[in-house]
Amino acid sequence: MNLKSAAEAKEVAKEKMEKACEIYEGITAVNEAAGPVKLMLLTLNWLSSGCETASCQAKEMKKKAKELEKEAEGTRITLEEAKGVLKVAQEEAEKAKVSASRMLLFKVRLITWAWRSSDFKEAMYKQVDMDTSNPAVFVNAELLHAYMGRKVRTVIQVMSSDGGTVIGKSTDEKQLVVKGSPPVPLTTYVEVIGIADSNQSIRAEIWNNFGDTFGALTSVFCNNIIQKPQDWQPEVILSILLYLVAT
């Protein structure tokens, strides 16, 4: 149904734009069409250019709202076109989430491969202590296997800082739960950062899903997943180059 006045068109356009912006924090509605007002959405690439702060987003939305008001004067839009804004916003939000997830996994995989070169050892390795006051930590064993390119029967152990106390243990399970206080589950991913000495264990760190470390991290030992590769294999050299470009 067509809106009957420019004033109504302006109000509906403003309302739909504000609603679209609320759906996803990184989405901003803008008007780039000539003629009738049509709202287009831009997705912010926060992984490469950094997340916009709430203050900057508010200023940008206010600026776009004023531009939209100016363009809406003397125009007419249909109710269906106004409703379409929300659908496009939802689609763009989903694309943004998928894109962010893929980029994160891509970077973690590059870090894993680059680590196989001894030149990256000192720069990337961190020795950390287990802080039992941390909330429960979930380690996805299948994800860890995928990083190393093989899935085998594996015992995952979370050790104390002195390496003498097994805090958590799981054999070929999808998840290993390390209970802290309070036992609140967090969404985490595991970043493989090295291969140990005699038993060819893999040492890993636990990060949260925003890429921030906890106040104190837990060292994770995954025994006998893979043999130590030779340094400077072709895939390692390529991965190092890609890692440097990506970061």
Give the Cα-Cα-Cα angle 112, 114, 115 (nearest 5 degrees).
65
pTM: 0.17
**Span between the terminal Cα atoms of the chain, in Å:** 50
What number of residues does the chain have? 247
From first to last of the 247 residues of the chain, give the pLDDT tens digit: 444 555 666 676 666 656 555 544 443 333 333 333 333 333 333 333 344 444 455 556 666 666 666 665 555 555 556 566 666 666 666 665 555 555 444 444 444 444 443 333 333 222 223 333 333 333 333 433 343 433 323 334 444 444 444 444 443 333 333 333 322 233 233 333 333 333 333 333 333 333 333 333 333 333 323 333 344 445 545 555 565 555 5
pLDDT computed for residue 173 by the predictor: 37
pLDDT at 205: 39
C-alpha to C-alpha distance for 205 and 221, rounded to whole angstroms: 9
d(CA 138, CA 142): 12
Spatial separation of the C-alpha atoms in residues 243 and 238, rounded to whole Å: 9
Type of residue at 221? F
Sequence-distant (≥ 6) Cβ neighbours of residue 175 within 8 angstroms: 138, 139, 140, 141
Q: How many CB atoms lie within 10 A of CB 152?
A: 10
Q: Which residues pair with 170 in a beta bridge?
A: 156
Domain boundaries, the chain: 134-229
Strands 175-178 and 27-31: unpaired
DSSP 213: B
Q: Both tokens of residue 72?
A: 């809406």
Spell out the CATH class of 134-229: mainly beta
Element (H, E) at 139: strand 137-140
pLDDT at 157: 43
* CA 84, chain centre distance (Å): 28
132 Cβ contact partners less than 8 Å away, ≥ 6 residues apart: 167, 180, 181
pLDDT digits (tens, 9 = 90+) for 86-131: 666 666 666 655 555 554 444 444 444 444 433 333 332 222 233 3
* The pLDDT of residue 9: 63
* Neighbour count for residue 17 (Cβ, 10 Å): 24
Output the pLDDT for position 218. 35
152: phi then psi, degrees, rounded to nearest 5: -130, 170
